[in-house]
Amino acid sequence: MRFIAVKILNLLAKKIVAKHKPAIIGITGSVGKSSARKAIYEVLKTRYAVACNKSEYHSDISIPLSVIGEKSGGRSVLKWAKIFMKAVKILSGHEKYPEILILEMDVNRPGDMKRLLKVVKPNIGIFTGVGEYPSHLEYFKDARHIAREKSLLIRTLGKKDLAIVNYDDDYAKELASGAKSDVITYGFDPKSKFIAEEIFLGDRKWRIEDGSIGMGFKISQNGTTVPFRLPYAFGRAQIYAVLASCAVGSFFGFNLLEISEILSKYQPLAGRMKLIKGINKSLIIDDTFNANPSSMLVTLESLGKLDASRRIAVLGDMLELGEYSKEGHAEVGKKVSKTSDVLFTFGSLSKMIGENARTSGMNKGKMAHFDKIEDLILNLRGMAREHDVILVKGSRSMHMEEIVRGLMEKPELADELLVK
Element (H, E) at 259: helix 256-262
**Is residue 177 located within the same domain as residue 305?**
no
Give the chain's domain count: 2
C-alpha–C-alpha distance, residues 249 and 47, integer Å: 11
| Residues 332, 296 contacting (CB under 8 angstroms) | yes
C-alpha–C-alpha distance, residues 231 and 283, integer Å: 13
**Is residue 375 located within the same domain as residue 248?**
no
Of 67, 127, 153, the closest CA to residue 247 belongs to 127
Give me the pLDDT at residue 39, please. 97
**Is residue 304 located within the same domain as residue 165?**
no
**Is residue 257 located within the same domain as residue 280?**
no
Choose one of 209, 236, 265: the last residue of a domain: 265
C-alpha–C-alpha distance, residues 340 and 157, integer Å: 43
Q: pTM of this prediction? A: 0.88
**Is residue 290 located within the same domain as residue 395?**
yes
**Is residue 216 located within the same domain as residue 298?**
no
C-alpha–C-alpha distance, residues 251 and 270, integer Å: 28
Choose one of 265, 298, 318: the last residue of a domain: 265
> What's the length of the chain?
420
Question: Which residues make beta-bridge pairs with 184?
Answer: 164
Whole-Å CA distances, 405 to 113, 313, 378, 383, 392 = 36, 16, 12, 16, 11
At 385, the amino acid letter reads R
**29: helix, coil or strand?**
coil
C-alpha–C-alpha distance, residues 90 and 298, integer Å: 42
Query: What totals of helices (H) and strands (E) does the chain contain, helices first?
Result: 16, 15
Give me the pLDDT at residue 54, please. 60
Choose one of 241, 265, 289: the last residue of a domain: 265
Q: What CATH number is attached to the domain comprising 88?
A: 3.40.1190.10
pLDDT along the chain (420 residues), means of 10: 82 96 95 92 98 67 92 88 94 92 91 94 95 69 87 95 96 87 96 94 59 83 95 88 98 98 93 92 93 91 90 95 89 97 97 97 96 97 94 96 97 94
Q: What CATH number is attached to the domain comprising 292?
A: 3.90.190.20
Q: Structural domain of residue 296, as residue ranges?
A: 274-417
**Is residue 332 located within the same domain as residue 191?**
no
Give me the pLDDT at residue 207, please. 54
Give me the pLDDT at residue 376, please. 98
**Is residue 233 located within the same domain as residue 293?**
no
Q: 345: phi > 0 → left, psi -120 to 50 → alpha, else beta; which?
A: beta
Of 108, 187, 112, 192, the closest CA to residue 153 belongs to 112
**166: helix, coil or strand?**
strand
**Is residue 231 located within the same domain as residue 373?**
no
C-alpha–C-alpha distance, residues 130 and 120, integer Å: 22
Whole-Å CA distances, 286 to 48, 50, 405 = 31, 27, 10
At 245, the amino acid letter reads S
**Is residue 204 located within the same domain as residue 108?**
yes
CB atoms within 10 A of CB 20: 17
Of 24, 44, 25, the closest CA to residue 263 belongs to 44
Give me the pLDDT at residue 122, please. 97
**Is residue 225 located within the same domain as residue 99?**
yes
**Is residue 238 located within the same domain as residue 286?**
no
C-alpha–C-alpha distance, residues 168 and 297, integer Å: 15
Whole-Å CA distances, 41 to 52, 104, 109, 306 = 7, 12, 28, 29
Give me the pLDDT at residue 48, please. 98
Give me the pLDDT at residue 53, please. 81
| Residues 377, 284 contacting (CB under 8 angstroms) | no
